[in-house]
A and B are shown apart, each in its own frame.
Chain A
Amino acid sequence: MEIRTEKEGTAIPDPTPDGARQAGSRRRPFAGARRLPLGFILALLAVLLVLSMAVAVAVGSAQLSTADVFRMLLNRAGLTRFPTTWEPHEEQILFALRFPRVVAAAIVGGCLASAGVLLQGLLRNPMADPYVVGASGGAALGAVLGSLLGSRVAFLGFGAVPVLAFVGAVGAVALVANLASVGGRLPIVTVLLAGFAVSTLLGYTVSLLLVIDARLQLQLPRIYGWLLGGISVANWTEVSLIGALALATFCGALALGRSLNAFSLGEEGAARLGVAVERDKRWILAVSALLTACAVSISGLIGFVGLVVPHVTRLACGPDHRRLLPAATLAGAVFLVLADLGARTMVSPVELPVGILTAFLGGPVFLVLLRRARRDYQW
């Protein structure tokens, strides 16, 4: 694994290199996008999100007529009173199953992408993703313990798996932060290594449980599916609670954009710019842990979104975190809504784990962009 030391960070002299680096822009994908006003980019992505969600609601495993879907939606919104020309079960498919899932996909995608931006910025490591500091191991252990507890435990309508996956993700990151803390400081290299060790330990704890507990062995296909990721929400309460928590956390993340930019100068440089380095590092860790936990609690471990979407967005609109964070969040939402649409429909009536789709969709796109960007890619 490549770990950038703090000194290497000084190789990037400009924390907000919006204007200075226009040379070679012919080879850069989305050349010119960096000069677009943020408002325009966000509006464009928001329109894309609405469009992709509309398609994802209209299309699914069961075939509903598109006209019926929009009539049902308009009726439900109280805007129209179309006569009921559809079966009652079709309305259930739309409102009880498909619609909440599409909204959940958008939330999860946004959470993972923004957590990826935060951790890549904080750790100054291009391999960083939302799971890099222990969240995946903690969440997996939580989910497995949750499936043992089963429906005996419920919290605000959530089952044991989402609750314990959430707790596990946040708990593991807190543990990593604690272990990595040296004399009140939080050295980045230590955070990365402690994250690696804790995640590995927790992961093998899960393996151990699977080997020694006969009840879990029978659950293997399901646990395997959870590890590959799949969006699953029981009801609107779950969606709105996770959505509200994610939104609040995301607002906190927006306030950290300036610090993240300063971190690209290395910690000394950031301190010289007046950033409270240690305090903000902890905030970034906490905020990214919460965002990741929101995502994994309702979706399992979906890979690639939190790694690739920040990079692609960075290629498109530059490394300024104040632009990158909101743009990547919307892009992540669009990406996961479309990936989940594929997961639901490609091999219907069976579902693909959405993690397969994120890798197959995201991987090639990312590689093409990376090759076109070549050396111009700064992050």
Chain B
Amino acid sequence: MIVLDRKKAPEFHQVDNIDFLNPESFLLNNSISLHTLTGGSQEIVKIDFIFNAGFWHQNQSLIANATNALIKEGSENYSAFEIADGIDQYGAFLQSDVSFDHASITLYTLNKHLEKVIPYFKEVICSPSFSEKEFNIYKNNALEKFKVNLEKVSFLARSSFMNEVFNEGSPYGRKLSIHDYENLSLKEVKQFYNDFYNLGNCEVIVSGNVSSTIVETIDRFFGQEVIAKKNETNKTTTQSSTNNKKIFIEKKDALQSAIRIGRQLPNKLHKDYYGLQIFNTILGGYFGSRLMKNIREDKGYTYGIGSGIVSLQNGGYFFISTEVGSDVTNDALKEIYKEIEHLQKEEVSLDELNLVKNYLLGQILKSCDGPFNMASLFENVHFYGLDYDFYNNYIKTIKEITPKTLLELGVKYFKQSDLTEVVVGKV
């Protein structure tokens, strides 16, 4: 019998072939674009109406959130309770969400119940009533939740960071305050709905076990609606005027300080985007990253530290995020800058780079698993006018990128003098 050599790793293969599930695209009767991603063995479907109605499109804080939340709270023909009950009755789920650029209204249902729940879904999207009563309930309850968030160092650090990096003039950077809740007006919510939740301002992504019957049902309910022209928002994001800002917000009794460090970066349309993602992975983008290894696994300063690059339609940003023991706040900051500098001065070893390459390819493979994951991948490129070539090129870049290129990116984009730092807590 051969004795097992447990010190020797089994052979492995780099992920080579990644199959992307291709979308099928249709136009509903009234020219709304609908894309389907079909797969999986469960008889379930996710229907996602995505509107250009994110924070970017609001002129005042909170309007995008309030509209997105209140859209579910009653319509012309149904009360808020009737809508919730109608959807709950068939075990379906209605979800609404707002991000920087888009807002979505999503229905999750078993295929067999679609016909029963879609009338409620249509009411939510096409004829919300925005009653005074529901508006007041929303306003009070959202304010209470906001007050709880204001007690969290992580929340304060995040909102202050976005504000510093994009500044108050940009819809991406505008900070929420209690004042915004008090001043919220129902009239403006209705106006925002009229301007941005028109069916002409949306696309539909349907994923799961999508049969032609399902597409026909959606067309029957939504394809007959009159749609208006797409609403374009004309705004530009301003490059933050001063860099290297250091903001400290004291929270006296804090046991931990929340740290955010970062800057604006180009979005996924820029040629450096892939390389920046790979650079970010090495620095703080996975469990074995430089930051994690040093600040958590060597020093034990934190439960977790990470970094990320977020691509937005009209910009983008890089951030490092962590919460560290108050007594080690300054030490942690020093180590974070040391790790960034290290990547600008010394090329990453081939061992480490190969590990990151294989890790990223494995993550891409995982992110393609199943129709719901594929719907996210599709959405993440479609609204930039891109297709799956984006991912194929990313895979190519991962395979080919060299330590030298990464070092150059580090020097170009991660100078300490270009970074903004926010600390909330105690130093």
Is chain B found bound to chain A in the same assembly? no
> Interface on B for A, CB 8 Å cutoff?
none
